[in-house]
Amino acid sequence: NAGVTQTPKFQVLKTGQSMTLQCAQDMNHEYMSWYRQDPGMGLRLIHYSVGAGITDQGEVPNGYNVSRSTTEDFPLRLLSAAPSQTSVYFCASSLLTREQETQYFGPGTRLLVL
Amino acid sequence: SQQGEEDPQALSIQEGENATMNCSYKTSINNLQWYRQNSGRGLVHLILIRSNEREKHSGRLRVTLDTSKKSSSLLITASRAADTASYFCATDGFFGAQKLVFGQGTRLTINP
């Protein structure tokens, strides 16, 4: 199993550009999420999904869109990039139960917005 | 807003010593997890402790949880150079079971 994969590993954008960060998992996990990590900070939840066709906002959703058309994929879209979105983005997946489950993280995408 | 706060923010010790990191949180939780992040990499799950547990062990790791004080500690015994990493606690309850809220982390450096 590849686990959770993310592409690209690094991206530079100009202010106002759009892009999609890709995330895929091969563990048949229902729950997937996106976090951002700013320097010296912990991770903050952007959006999450509890299954195909179901998404919801996390702590810092503004400026980001998500969709979940399949169990495996959970892309994150930046419609109009801003310098404040410079960060490292992590995708995670887990089983969806009533209990807290171990989250499996991807290697991250480092984004720089100029 | 961050749910968990780690203390200290940075810790430097000699190889073979024990390392203790603390985490405090604000709201009631069902579970608390600890994760490790090596520089420039994703997070790796270390251990999960449920709110009805007080202590849990996994290899050289020992985690305690005091729900009355809303705090947890992570002890790494007999530290190794490979333990150099950032350690984060993560709690649920603020947004829901799977929606973890992370602290700012403790940066641990093991000196040879």
Contact A100 B31 (CB under 8 A): yes
Q: What is the DSSP string of B66-109?
A: ETTTTEEEEEE-S--GGG-EEEEEEE-SSS-SS--EE---EEEE
Indicate the residue type of A16.
G
Contacting residues of A for B42, CB less than 8 Å apart = 4, 90, 105-108
Q: Give CA separation, A38 vs A44, A56, A110, B14, B73, in Å.
A: 9, 22, 10, 29, 24
pLDDT per position as a tens digit, A50-75: 999 999 999 899 999 999 999 999 99
Q: Which residue has the tokens 């997890």?
A: B33
pLDDT per position as a tens digit, B7-58: 899 999 999 999 999 999 988 888 899 999 998 788 999 999 999 999 999 9
* Closest chain B CA to residue A5: B42
Across the A:B interface, residue pairs with CB atoms under 8 Å apart total 75
Contact B101 A59 (CB under 8 A): yes
Q: How confident is the model at residue B3 (pLDDT cuts 50, 70, 90)?
A: low
> Which two tokens mark A97?
């139960």
> Which two tokens mark B20?
């203790």
Q: Which of A50, A58, A107 sits opposite B95 (nearest CB)?
A: A58
**Which distant-in-sequence residues (6+ apart) come within 8 Å of A26 by Cβ?**
A1, A2, A3, A72
Contacting residues of A for B1, CB less than 8 Å apart = 59
